[in-house]
Amino acid sequence: MTRTTDLGNETVENILKRLRRIEGQVRGLQKMVAEGRPCDEVLTQMTATKKAMEAAATLILHEFLNVCAAEVSEGKVDPRKPEEIANMLKKFV
């Protein structure tokens, strides 16, 4: 099973940076709701947060597939890898 640590330090830092930004967005959403902000403003921010999550997921999937491709080119094919790829794609879609 491919782990996030297999994606490389730069990628992991990029993912963590995105997740920290998303964490801040979620805290901002909580504050907006507690303050009684207009629903359209809250929903707009929720949409932005959702898109940020999708972008982070896309990055993870992209790098995961790069790792898989590298393993194939190096002849290190785990027979369970196609199932792992299929499961990742099911979660993403």
Residue numbers of the chain with a pLDDT score lower than 70? none
What pLDDT score was predicted for residue 6?
Answer: 84
pLDDT the model gives residue 48: 97
Q: What distance in Å separates the CA atoms of residue 75 and residue 67, rounded to the nearest whole number?
A: 12
Task: Determine the pLDDT at residue 33.
Answer: 98
pLDDT at 53: 95
Domain ranges within the chain, ordered by starting residue: 4-90
Q: Name residues whose C-beta falls within 8 Å of residue 22's C-beta, 6 or more positions apart in sequence.
A: 49, 52, 53, 56
Topology annotation, domain 4-90: Methane Monooxygenase Hydroxylase; Chain G, domain 1 (1.20.58)
49-68 pLDDT, tens per residue?
999 999 999 999 888 888 88
pTM of the model: 0.82
